[in-house]
Amino acid sequence: MIFQEFLFFAVCFIVLAVILLARLLAGPTIADRALAADCIEIVSDMALILFALYSGRGIFLDIALITAVMGFIGTTLIGRYLGGRL
């Protein structure tokens, strides 16, 4: 039963990533593209967390934490650059 739930959420994350990838490629402004890239990073982190729960291995939680921090730093730098303060 729990395998079906993980499979359902995996399919949901794949659909979300495809929609966000379309927004990343066709975004009218740089801010839209940066937001789509940040959302893709968040969705991939959630997928890593679900995979860590499914497999029982904690290394994937560490990887998700590192990518979340790097995504936050990248989004902050892009925001500062677009705001003219970098």
Q: How far apart are CA 66 and CA 76, in angstroms?
A: 15
Over 70: is that where the pLDDT of 1 sits?
Answer: no
DSSP state of 28: S
Q: Please give the distance of CA 80 from its chain centroid, rounded to a whole number.
A: 20
pTM confidence score:
0.83
Q: Which pLDDT score is estimated for 64? A: 93
The letter for the amino acid at 28 is: P
Q: Does 1 or 37 have the greater pLDDT score?
A: 37
H-only helix segments in 1-86: 2-26, 30-55, 59-82
Q: Are 45 and 22 in contact (CB under 8 A)?
A: no
Q: Choose among 71, 80, 72: nearest CA to 31.
A: 80
pLDDT of 86 above 80: no
